[in-house]
Structure 1
Amino acid sequence: MVRIKRTPLADQAADVLMERIRAGEWPLGARLPGETTLAPQLGVGRSTVREAIRQLAGKGVLETRQGAGVFVTALDVTEDWDAVLQRAGIISVIEARIAIEAEAAAYAAERRSPQALRAIRKALSDRQEHRGSTEEYVDADMRFHRSIVAAAENPVLLELFDSFVPRLRQAMIDMLRLGRSLSEDEDHDAHADLTEAIASRDAEVAHRLSRTHLESLKAALQ
């Protein structure tokens, strides 16, 4: 027997409001009509309208401002970040790495503390010791690059990198298993040179080396 699931009225009302926003009835920044206007339009009670608004506010589409009303703050529901990353191809992942890590490398060169530099050097050494296993090597590589982002002393960049790691890790494992990578010596030299640029506080060189290395990985896949 097929069971028909009843969708709560608030969910249905939220869907209708979202459709009207997508259709352009209320542009970004617009104030929605009050509950007494929306309720009869939607064919529901005011409490249902409030719940629908609460749902869309939780998704970042609407914002309730005390004493002012309800305003449109986004024209669509933002897709879950994890879902975006899971769908992303390896090339897209590497391009995102370039955007995050090249800037982080420059900031790390400018801001790194002695403790942060020691962490980078240790991560570089550990990276060489895990060449035997693809998974362990990728994990060590992630720790190296994270140590650079951490040295940049920008919590937003670090949060972005950390949220990115699961998809990034899988992309790098896939790439190595495809045999698409630099030679071991060339790869190690690129990471060692980047470490020395950060140690020398040369932000321009650090930025260039980080970008060049990641661009070479991207080229190897194309």
Structure 2
Amino acid sequence: MTFGPLRRSPLAGQAAERLRAQIAAGRWPVGTKLPGEIALGKELGIGRSTVREAVRDLAGAGLVESRQGSGVFVIATEPVEDLTTRLRRASAAEVYEVRNLIEVRAAMLAAERRTDEDLAALDAGLAVRAAALGDDAAYIDADIAFHGAIVAAAHNDVLTDLFSVFQVTMRPGLFDLLAVMDSRGMRVAVADPGADAHAAMVAAIRAGDAVEAGRVTEAELAVSMRILRGGAG
């Protein structure tokens, strides 16, 4: 099987795609060694430096591994997606399930570690969230910022980083949630159904009650998950 020469730029990117397709098709099963740079270059109609760049692309995708003195070996047939890419394909309900794992623990830690500055940020977050009612985009941004302030109050850099990654899908997920609530008339009687729960989160964190902070946070996220899955709020 031959590829045919590549003529359009960027050559390295095209070469990587051709090689990736052949790996996925089983030409080189997992554990086998790729042909050398000269052989691949001749088959693709490119130079050795371009082959090396293409192979680096494949390595970055988790498809191949360079072994000192042995060559380049296939280690997977499908590229490994980074977390951000995977999250963009996740459903809102899936994101909420993992938010539960992150934010419940973050709220408990925040109750134990919050500073006066953290409490001021949470109070401000509640005020901004309430002021944004009527403007869905501003309201969603304020809600994300509020939850981010709780995570920040946990003073755990890993939790903060995880929350930052999840923000990629939180915004569209919240728009989905509001759309479902609107379709059921759930925002007519009460302008902000989550206001009391969010205020209770701050109260529990201020009181230093980790158990209550976790409980209230979990209950609020559970309501959103039920709505997204088609149940009652």
How does the TM-score come out when normalised to structure 1? 0.74
Q: What is the RMSD of the two structures over their aligned residues, measured on CA atoms? A: 3.6
Distance 2:193 2:50 in 1: 62
Equivalent AA in structure 2 for residue 95 of structure 1:
E
In the other structure, the counterpart of 1:210 is: 217
* CA positional deviation for 1:153: 1.8
- 1:112-123 matches, cutoff 5 A: 112-123=114-125
Deviates more, 1:86-95 or 1:204-213: 86-95
In the other structure, the counterpart of 2:133 is: 131
Contact 2:65 2:75 in 1 (8 A): yes
Distance 2:192 2:17 in 1: 59
Q: Choose the corresponding residue for 1:146, options 142, 145, 148.
A: 148
In the other structure, the counterpart of 2:161 is: 159
* CA positional deviation for 1:48: 5.9
Q: Secondary structure at the match of 1:132?
A: coil
Q: Alpha carbons of 1:65 and 1:148: their partners in 2 closer, same or farther (altered >3 Å)?
A: farther
Contact 1:35 1:50 in 2 (8 A): no
Q: Choose the corresponding residue for 1:173, options 149, 159, 175.
A: 175
Equivalent AA in structure 2 for residue 205 of structure 1:
E
Equivalent AA in structure 1 for residue 131 of structure 2:
E
How many equivalent pairs are there? 213
* CA positional deviation for 1:220: 2.0
Distance 2:16 2:212 in 1: 53
* CA positional deviation for 1:191: 0.7
Q: Choose the corresponding residue for 2:92, options 72, 90, 93.
A: 90
* CA positional deviation for 1:16: 6.1
Contact 1:146 1:161 in 2 (8 A): yes
In the other structure, the counterpart of 2:24 is: 19
Deviates more, 1:110-119 or 1:75-84: 75-84
* CA positional deviation for 1:149: 1.1
Q: Alpha carbons of 1:188 and 1:76: their partners in 2 closer, same or farther (altered >3 Å)?
A: same
Distance 2:215 2:25 in 1: 47
Contact 1:126 1:140 in 2 (8 A): yes
* CA positional deviation for 1:212: 1.1
Q: Alpha carbons of 1:6 and 1:80: their partners in 2 closer, same or farther (altered >3 Å)?
A: farther
Q: Alpha carbons of 1:186 and 1:212: their partners in 2 closer, same or farther (altered >3 Å)?
A: same
In the other structure, the counterpart of 2:108 is: 106
Q: Alpha carbons of 1:18 and 1:152: their partners in 2 closer, same or farther (altered >3 Å)?
A: farther
Equivalent AA in structure 2 for residue 214 of structure 1:
L
In the other structure, the counterpart of 2:194 is: 187
Distance 1:22 1:192 in 2: 59
* CA positional deviation for 1:84: 3.3
Contact 1:100 1:157 in 2 (8 A): yes
Q: Alpha carbons of 1:25 and 1:167: their partners in 2 closer, same or farther (altered >3 Å)?
A: closer
1:46-90 deviations in whole A, cap 9, x for unaligned?
Answer: 656533431122224445466786576766312354543333332
Distance 2:57 2:119 in 1: 46
Distance 2:109 2:177 in 1: 28
* CA positional deviation for 1:10: 3.8
Distance 1:152 1:199 in 2: 12
Deviates more, 1:73-82 or 1:149-158: 73-82
For structure 2, which runs of at least 5 residues remain unmatched after alignment? none
* CA positional deviation for 1:123: 0.5
Q: Alpha carbons of 1:204 and 1:43: their partners in 2 closer, same or farther (altered >3 Å)?
A: farther
Percentage of matched positions with identical amino acids: 38
The yes-or-no answer on 1:197 pairing with 2:221 is: no
In the other structure, the counterpart of 1:56 is: 58
